[in-house]
Amino acid sequence: MSDGTKRLRNLLLTLGVGAIVAVALALVGGTGGAKLNDSLALFAIWGIAAVSLNLINGTTGILSLGHHGFMLVGGYVTALLILPEDARQRISSSARSEMTPFTLGLSVEGWFDALGLHVLTTPETLWVRFLIALFFGGLVAMAFGLIVGIPSLRLKGDYLAIVTFGFGEIIRLTASTSLFKPFTNGALGYSGVPSDFGKSLWWTFALLALTLFVMTKLKYSSHGRALQAIREDEIAAEAMGIGLARHKVMAFALSAFFAGVAGGLWVSYLSAARLDFFLFFLTFFFLVAISVGGTGSYTGVLLGVAVVVFVQQYGDPLERTYSLATWFGLIGVLILAAGIGAGLYRRDRRMRPVWHPLVLGLIGIGAATLLVAIVGQNWAMFDGTFQAFGMRRILLAVLLIVIMAVRPEGIMGRAEFSWAWLLRERKDQPSDEERAQDAWLSGSEMDKEKERARARSDDPLPRSLTEEESPGAHPLLERGTKPKSDGGRRRKRGDDEGSS
């Protein structure tokens, strides 16, 4: 298959799957339950935010922990601009309102009214106003992203992470001060934000697709390659002529823009804007999604977001009320699992599990606990029930700890999903383009002569050894042993030094 047909096939496959997804979404929107609808919308919204965070964390290799701050900015701006008239009336008539007439007058509808565009002030064209509000939210968040990006010029690694965390918290803490109260309405926030968009699968998934499109296009553009070069080695990247400052600030700004859009959708999803919707747990969830799915891989991040949303939406059985005996048994099962896991994890030289006495003791305690719970279901000490709020978050935290210890690059690593991978396409045949490049790159006729001679002779040595002998071997011959370009299996991830 030539390149052209392959590209056409991939495009057709993408479009076909997109059409199937669209039909499925339409069916869910029409007939699926509200919970499924909400979960999918949440997946799309958090997907936008996580993918945008991945631009900083995964592609550029800067750990940023202030994403909830950008989302807050975008969310509040969107909410303020789209807030319907009756909600504004309620705020202005409320005694506890912190808004001024000026800030209450900030609305896209009002602007269109002033411009005389009455077509765009009808309820039917709410989507136009919402898109404009989202865009403004993104822009303001982008401005904040530019500000937060500035310290990245001086700082690296964990210090920068703490500073971004500090910025995120500063944004949240100052949003309720008297300086910004007129814009955020203090601790009350806004209620009555139209939820037609945050809960609509069409809009959320369309924006997710747009975000993914922009991000993947960026990843494989020269700017994206520059960002990846910065992740791998800042000094080398700078030596190659990549402007560190420009690229890092650009990454922050773009990421903040999409975080602002996600914030706008999040506000619409919750149909209210309050400061406690934008706590650190959001950034933590995205961090889990990125780490689980694969740092630097956008499709992997979506996989991680699916995991997080699933745990968050369908993990509520974990937080129901159960009898104490059940909890006791659950703890026993956990201890048992931890013991067995620890025993299987540690292997001796022949890869047999090592059953250390401590591990055996752990297993014994777990089994005993489980036994007691089963035998003593009706004992007096197990009278009563218990409800464990926060179990889902604990599960996510444990997931993150385990992932960082066992597979720090995540499920997908840095590889992206591709049709070629799905169809098990062989990579050892060069494409037309690669052939052309090879022909151009291959050196003088003398080299080619040497190659032919080498190809004729039956070389007893393995390919790798001969390659090391002559680094100038023909690229066509190297093809079979060429290491994969994605660093998916590599453990090292943008090693970094502190700023000091």
Partner 1 sequence: MSKTAARASARRYPWGWILGLGIPLLVFVRIWYLVAVVGERELASFIGAALLSLQLGSLYALIALGYTMVYGIIRLINFAHGEVFMVGAFISYFLFTGAPFALPWALLWSIVVAWGVMFVLNLWRGRMADPVVLGGGAATLALLAVVLSTSPVNWLVAMLLSMLTTGVLGVLIDRIAYRPLRGAPRISLLITAIAVSFFLQNTGLIVFTRNQTPFRPGTAWTDFLQFDVAGGTVYTSRLVFLIPIVTAVLVVALTLFVTRTRLGKAMRASAQDAEVAQMMGVNVNRVIATTFLLGSMLAAAGGVLWGLNFGSLNQPAVMGILPGIKAFAAAVIGGIGSLPGAVLGGLLLGFLENFVTALFPRSGDFPGITEYKDTFAFALLIVVLLIRPSGIVGEDLSEKV
Q: Name the minimum Å distance from CB 165 to partner 1.
A: 7
Q: Name the minimum Å distance from CB 217 to partner 1.
A: 26
Q: Name the minimum Å distance from CB 417 to partner 1.
A: 24
Residues that bind partner 1 (CB under 8 A): 61, 63, 65, 151, 154-155, 157-159, 161-163, 165-167, 169-170, 173-174, 176-178, 280-281, 284, 287-288, 291, 388-391, 393-394, 396-398, 400-401, 404-405, 408, 491-496, 498-500
Residue with tokens 């210890």: 405
Contacts of 273 (CB under 8 A, 6+ apart): 75, 76, 79, 184, 189, 190, 193, 267
Integer angstrom CA distances of residue 266 from 29, 46, 132, 134, 256: 18, 8, 16, 11, 15
- Show the tokens assigned to 111: 């602007």
Contact between 289 and 311 (Cβ < 8 Å): no
Q: Name the minimum Å distance from CB 207 to partner 1.
A: 27
Output 232 or 434, the one with its CB closest to partner 1: 232
Q: Name the minimum Å distance from CB 367 to partner 1.
A: 19
Alpha helices in 346-462 (DSSP H): 357-375, 391-406, 419-422, 432-441, 445-456
Return d(Cα 76, Cα 99) in angstroms, integer. 13
Return d(Cα 391, Cα 476) in angstroms, integer. 55
Q: Name the minimum Å distance from CB 447 to partner 1.
A: 40
Q: Name the minimum Å distance from CB 170 to partner 1.
A: 5
* Burial track 302-335 (b if 16+ CB lie within 10 A, e otherwise): bbbbbbbbebbbeeeebeeebebbebbbbebeeb
Helix (H, G, I), strand (E, B) or coil at 189: coil
Q: Is the dihedral of CA 185, 187, 189, 191 positive or negative?
A: negative
Residue with tokens 């890092």: 248
- Show the tokens assigned to 366: 């777990």
Return d(Cα 487, Cα 412) in angstroms, integer. 10
Total Cβ atoms within 10 A of residue 466: 15
